[in-house]
Amino acid sequence: MKAVTSRASSAMGEGIRALSALLEARTGQVLSQDRQWRAETALQPVLRAHGLSDVEVLAAHLARHRDMRLEAQVVDALLNNESSFFRDHQVFEMIRGQVLPDIRARRADRRLRIWSAGCSTGQEAYSLAIQLCNDAENWRGWRIEILATDISATAIHRARGGIFPQMDVQRGLPVNDLIQWFEPVAEGWRAHGRLRGMIDFRQDNLLDPQAPCGPYDLLLCRNVMLYFAQERRGRMFDLLKRHSHEDSVLLLGAGETAIGHGEPFVAHPDFRGAYRLPSCARGPARFPLRRA
Ligand SMILES: C[S@@+](CC[C@H](N)C(=O)[O-])C[C@H]1O[C@@H](n2cnc3c(N)ncnc32)[C@H](O)[C@@H]1O
């Protein structure tokens, strides 16, 4: 019995390993040991939908057949889409109280451009839209663009729909904002059209990006690089750099840093935990800036 169990578990490892390799090739995400176990649970709906008995059978099927649709579903299921409104509350407080007012004071052309890279189901982008709407008086006359991208088709579909179950709105969304910016629907709460209209949600792979068209004033790439291999993180910073300008502010997730990647970005002198381009990489402004 023991031998059977151990054979089964080593065989199970093979299947997950093959699917992990698929995930990494497509998205750059590396499945750590502890996430491999959760991955099996995440794959259950895919197994059920295709009448496959377990992960081994799924991996063997994909090895034998070039089934792009199934591959995409597997990758989608294995992605970690964890997100919440105003995630890391103090970061959003800094954006509201310091970063956005600073951009407003600098950009003479009254244009604000934000990119939420790896936006998942959209809570990050909606949180920013809420902050801007709550401060609408100060943004009157501004042209505001929020691009929000994610590789997951499912996540982007949900983000565009703007419907969040009760459980999601209970995580981080202040009651006042819920009442003001969402309406109750059968499935939970739907973001008002005004919020939805502010955000351009697009499915896009950060490893082969088509959507971003920088430079952006504020770039958020939070909790995305955490599971990238070192080399891919370097490529990601190059990408973020290409879409930044001399005054851009970059925000990463709490467990992520730009330090140790050849200094593509340096710690921002004014905003705690944020990054900016180093002075050597900061060319002339590509738009009118107000200078003190
Ligand atoms: C943990 S969520 C973070 C969501 C949000 N940024 C936050 O911090 O709440 C990570 C997101 O990155 C996306 N992602 C992972 N690899 C990606 C890639 N290569 N291109 C675009 N998005 C990717 C995943 O689909 C997932 O939705």
The total of other beta-carbon atoms located within 10 Å of residue 134's CB is: 16
Q: Which of 54, 78, 102 is the last residue of a domain?
A: 78
Ligand 1: residues whose CB is within 6 Å?
Answer: 27-29, 79-83, 87, 118-120, 124, 150-152, 155, 205-207, 222-224, 253
Q: Whose CA is nearest to atom 13 of ligand 1?
A: 118
pLDDT computed for residue 163 by the predictor? 98
Task: Give yes or no for residue 279 having a pLDDT over 90.
Answer: no
- Which mutation among 87, 89, 120 tests ligand 1's pocket best, with the greatest number of atoms within 8 A of CB? 120
Dist CA 246 CA 235 (whole Å): 20
Task: Give yes or no for residue 184 having a pLDDT over 70.
Answer: yes
CATH no. for residue 197? Answer: 3.40.50.150
Helix, strand or coil, per DSSP, at residue 10? helix
Q: Which of 29-33, 138-142, 161-165, 167-171 has the lowest mean pLDDT?
A: 29-33
Is 288 inside any structural domain? Answer: no
On whether both 107 and 229 belong to a single domain, the answer is yes
Q: Whose CA is nearest to atom 14 of ligand 1?
A: 118
pLDDT computed for residue 284 by the predictor? 55
Radius of gyration of the chain (CA): 21
On whether both 17 and 128 belong to a single domain, the answer is no
User: What's the mean pLDDT in 187-205?
Assistant: 97
Task: Give yes or no for residue 263 having a pLDDT over 70.
Answer: yes
Top pLDDT among 212 and 134 is at 134
Q: If you average pLDDT over every residue of the chain, what do you get?
A: 91
Collect contacts of 190-198 with beta carbons under 8 A, ≥24 apart. 190/161, 190/162, 190/163, 190/164, 191/126, 191/162, 191/163, 191/164, 194/133, 195/126, 195/129, 195/130, 195/133, 195/162, 196/160, 196/162, 198/129, 198/132, 198/133, 198/144, 198/146
Q: Which of 45, 78, 111 is the last residue of a domain?
A: 78
Q: Whose CA is nearest to atom 19 of ligand 1?
A: 27
pLDDT in tens, 213-262: 889 999 999 999 999 988 899 999 999 999 999 999 999 999 999 988 87
- Which mutation among 119, 150, 173 tests ligand 1's pocket best, with the greatest number of atoms within 8 A of CB? 150
Task: Give yes or no for residue 4 having a pLDDT over 90.
Answer: no
Q: Considering only CA atoms, which of 10, 218, 263, 259 is closest in space to residue 117?
A: 218
Residue type, 9: S
Of all residues in the chain, the percent with pLDDT exceeding 90 is 82
Q: What is the atom index within ligand 1 of the atom nearest the CA of 29? A: 16
Q: What is the atom index within ligand 1 of the atom nearest the CA of 204? A: 21
pLDDT in tens, 43-99: 999 999 999 999 999 999 999 998 999 999 999 999 999 999 999 999 999 999 999
Q: Give distance in angstroms: CA of 118 to centre of ligand 1.
A: 4
Task: Give yes or no for residue 137 having a pLDDT over 80.
Answer: yes
Q: Give distance in angstroms: CA of 149 to centre of ligand 1.
A: 8
Q: What is the CA angle 189-192-193, rounded to 5?
A: 135
Task: Give yes or no for residue 282 having a pLDDT over 60.
Answer: yes
Is 83 inside any structural domain? Answer: no
Q: Give distance in angstroms: CA of 150 to centre of ligand 1.
A: 6
Is 204 inside any structural domain? Answer: yes
pLDDT in tens, 140-164: 999 999 999 999 999 999 999 999 9
Number of domains in the chain: 2
Q: Whose CA is nearest to atom 16 of ligand 1?
A: 27
